[in-house]
Amino acid sequence: MAELVAAVPSLLAADQADQHYADAVRTAVAACAEDTAGQTCYICYGEGDEDEGLVRGCSCRGENGFAHVSCLARQAQVAVERRSGPRFLRWYICGLCEQRYHGVARCALGWACWKTYVGRPEADETRKMAMTQLGNGLSSAGNNEDALSVKEAQLAMMRRLGAPEDQMLMVQSNLANSYQVLGRLEEALQLERDVYSGYLRLKGERDEETLIAANNHANLLILKHFEEAKALIRNTIPVARRVLGEGHRLTLKMKKIYAEVSYKNPDATLDDLREAVMTLEDAEPRAQRVFGSAHPLVEGIGISLRTARETLAARETS
C-alpha cells in the first residue's frame, strides 16, 4: 500500500467542527422524527434544548432510548472526565440497552465527540480517540469518502507520533473497512491480514480485538478466497461463543459470514447450502431478541437468510 500523505483534511478543521456537528444533528433528528414524535429525552426529561429534536439509534425499544444528541454528548463527556468504566464507552454505546449506536445518530455523536476534544494537543489520547469516533460515525452513516479522509489522516498522524502497536492496529482496521466499502479490495485485504496476524501475536486468539480482526478478515476473504474464509470463521466461532456468548453482536456477525461463505461460493454443495440456512435460522431470532428488528445487523441477517433459502431452492430444483 502506498505511503499515506500526512496532510490534515479540511474536514477536521477546528473552526468547522461546530457547523459539521449542527448539520449532523439536523440530519439525525430528521431521520428519527417519525420514531421520536411525542417522546421525551430520557436524560434531561424535556429540560434540554427542545428546538434540537430527539434521536434514537441504538437497540432500545418501546419508550426507551430517546434523547437529545447534546444530552448524550454531555453524558459521555462526564463519563470520560470521571473515568467511570472504560473510557469513551458512552460516546458509542447506549447507557440503557448497552448496544452500539448506528447510522446517523452515531455520526452526530462522532461530530459531537470531535467538537468536544479537537482543541487538545495532537498527541493527546482523548483527541486521538475522538478522531476514531468521528471516522467510525461517518462510516456508520454511509459518508464513506469523508470517513476515508479522516481515517487516512489519523493513520498518518499515529505513524508520525510513534503510537503503540495496538493503537496502530485499531486504526488500520478501521481504515481497511473504508477501503472495502469503497471497492479498494486488495488494499483492504492486505491491511486486514496484517491486522489479524498482529492482534493474534500481540493478544492471543481469545481477546475480543483478535476476534473482531478475524471477523473482518473473513468478511473480506469471502470476496475471493472461499475456503480460506470458511476455515478461519469455522475455527473462530467456537472461541467467540466461549468468550462473548451466543447472543453477542460479534458472534452473530460471524455466523452470518459463515453462511455467506457457502451461498456465495459457486462450488458449495447442497449440504453446505442447507447448513447456511440452518445457521441463519438460528442467528436471526437471537439477533432480534438482543437488538430489535430494526437494527442493521438484524436486517442484514434477514437478507442473508432470504438469499440462502433462494440459492438452496434453486440448486435443489436444478
Q: How confident is the model at residue 10 (pLDDT cuts 50, 70, 90)?
A: confident
Angstrom distance (rounded) from CA 174 to CA 178? 7
Residue type, 186: E
Q: For residues 182 and 140, is the Cβ–Cβ distance under 8 A?
A: no
Alpha-carbon torsion, ordered 216, 218, 222, 226, to 10 deg: 170
Lowest mean pLDDT among 32-46, 74-88, 169-183: 74-88
How much is the pLDDT for 7? Answer: 55
Q: For residues 24 and 65, is the Cβ–Cβ distance under 8 A?
A: no
How much is the pLDDT for 241? Answer: 96
Q: How confident is the model at residue 47 (pLDDT cuts 50, 70, 90)?
A: confident
Q: How confident is the model at residue 8 (pLDDT cuts 50, 70, 90)?
A: low
How much is the pLDDT for 6? Answer: 44
Q: How many CB atoms lie within 10 A of CB 43?
A: 16
Q: For residues 214 and 232, is the Cβ–Cβ distance under 8 A?
A: yes
Say which residue, 5 or 171, is predicted with more confidence: 171
Mean pLDDT over 236-260 rounds to: 96
Q: How many CB atoms lie within 10 A of CB 181?
A: 15
Q: How confident is the model at residue 294 (pLDDT cuts 50, 70, 90)?
A: confident
Residue type, 238: P
Average pLDDT of the chain is 93
Provide the CB-side half-sphere exposure for 91 (13 A, CA). Answer: 28
How much is the pLDDT for 3? Answer: 45
Lowest mean pLDDT among 58-67, 83-92, 176-185: 83-92
Give per-residue pLDDT as tens, 70-94. Answer: 999 999 999 999 876 677 899 999 9
Residue 1 has pLDDT above 70, yes or no: no
Mean pLDDT over 56-64 rounds to: 92
Q: How confident is the model at residue 2 (pLDDT cuts 50, 70, 90)?
A: very low
User: Would you mind telling me the total number of residues written for the chain in this entry?
Assistant: 318
Q: For residues 56 and 105, is the Cβ–Cβ distance under 8 A?
A: yes
Q: Is 275 exposed, middle or buried (0-12, 13-18, 19+ CB in 10 A)?
A: middle
Chain-centroid distance, C-alpha 274: 29
Give, in order, the Cα–Cα distances in Å from 286 to each of 94, 102, 170. 20, 19, 28
How much is the pLDDT for 84? Answer: 62
Residue 191 has pLDDT above 60, yes or no: yes
Residue 114 has pLDDT above 80, yes or no: yes
How much is the pLDDT for 55? Answer: 97
How much is the pLDDT for 137? Answer: 98
Q: What are the residues whose beta carbons fall under 8 Å from the beta carbon of 48, sequence distance 6 or more?
A: 41, 68, 70, 71
Q: For residues 88 and 135, is the Cβ–Cβ distance under 8 A?
A: no
Q: Scan for cell 469503497, then name that residue.
A: 182
Give per-residue pLDDT as tens, 213-226. Answer: 999 999 999 988 99
- What angle, rounded to 10 degrees, do the helices at 103-117 and 17-36 form? 150
Q: How confident is the model at residue 51 (pLDDT cuts 50, 70, 90)?
A: confident
Angstrom distance (rounded) from CA 223 to CA 221? 5
Residue 315 has pLDDT above 50, yes or no: yes
